Amino acid sequence: MLGLILKHPVISKVLLTEARSIHGITQKYFIHDKSIFLTATAVRTFVTRCTRLSDGVTRPASFLKSNGLLRSLLAQRRQMSQLDVSTNVQNNVILYKYERSSYFRNVRIFGIGQLFGWLILAVYTYKPSFWDIFSTDIKFKEYLFNHMIRLPLFLFSFIAGPFMFLFVYATCARSVKYIILNKGGKTLSITTYQMLKKNSSINIPIGMAKCTSHRTGEGLHVSLKVKNKPLYYLVDKSGTFVNPKLFDHVMG
């Protein structure tokens, strides 16, 4: 029945006109209600496509295009809402916090333990005869046979310890603990779980730090890019976004 009604050219054009007027009203008066705005948009899109189909102008579009349209409208809605956010704060405001000091303390202990453990193993597996390949006329096959176990173990231990420590160090140094908008709204303070406390916090102007994806998107982390820094910072989504609107506006 609905299909027969929508195929009629007069009825479909009337529905399209009404949908456009409804969409205009909701955009004007209910712009701050995202659910109403998206519902009206979906109704208008549906009626518009049905009208075009009845006139024989276009072919049915895929749902992927519809979802893309809704995502673009949602992004426009988010940008419009950010215009109402003021960054001129009177005191320091916490935008984000991720308080897991005990966890990262254990991670640091693990990294230091890996460094010393592997290096101690490297010391005990080292033999001065490892240098015979450079100072004597020993054949390479004979050299490998004489050090078949100790040499690979020494090389692996010598590389694995520093590598594990550097990995843990970089992870802690790029895991964000606090993001604070400083008084006046001109600068940001980003505090991490850096092993060295004196290097755990940086102050940068607003605009130098931007998130590469939205906090409500997929994944466990949001990558935070800071200008003039070689690596990304990691904002764990399990943390608390204390001021989500202000966070979206500042870190957009």
Rounded Cα distance, 186 and 198, in Å: 23
Pairing outcome for strands 233-236 and 176-181: unpaired
Task: Give the pLDDT confidence score for residue 73 in this predicted structure.
Answer: 56
Q: How many angstroms separate the CA atoms of 43 and 46, rounded?
A: 5
CA angle 122, 151, 121 (to 5 degrees): 15
Tokens of 204: 């940068």
Tens-digit pLDDT profile for the chain (252 aa)? 444 444 445 444 444 454 444 445 444 444 444 454 455 455 455 545 544 444 444 444 444 445 565 566 555 555 544 445 667 778 889 999 999 999 999 999 999 999 999 999 999 999 888 888 888 888 888 888 888 889 999 999 999 999 999 999 999 999 999 999 998 888 899 999 998 888 889 999 988 889 888 888 888 889 999 988 888 999 999 989 998 888 888 887
Sign of CA dihedral 118, 120, 125, 126: positive
The confidence score (pLDDT) of residue 10 equals 45
Q: Is the pTM of this model over 0.85?
A: no
Task: Please report how many Cα atoms fall inside a 13 Å half-sphere around the Cα of residue 26, on the Cβ side.
Answer: 19
Q: Is 119 buried (19+), middle (13-18) or exposed (0-12) by CB count in 10 A?
A: middle
The predicted pLDDT at position 42 comes to: 52
Task: Determine the Cα–Cα distance for residues 237 and 46; give it in Å rounded to an integer.
Answer: 35
How many angstroms separate the CA atoms of 34 and 26, rounded?
10
pLDDT at residue 59 in the model: 41
DSSP 12-79: HHHHHHHHHHHHHHHHHHSTT-HHHHHHHHHHHHHHHHHHHHHHTSSPPPPHHHHHHHHHHHHHHHHH
Angle between helices 63-82 and 34-55 (to 10 degrees): 140
If one counts every other C-beta atom within 10 angstroms of the C-beta of residue 100, the result is 15
- Spatial distance between the Cα atoms of 51 and 58, rounded to a whole number of angstroms: 10
Task: Note the pLDDT of residue 104.
Answer: 93
- In the prediction, which pLDDT does 72 show? 62
CA distance 68 to 158: 52
Q: How many CB atoms lie within 10 A of CB 48?
A: 17
End-to-end CA distance of the chain: 47
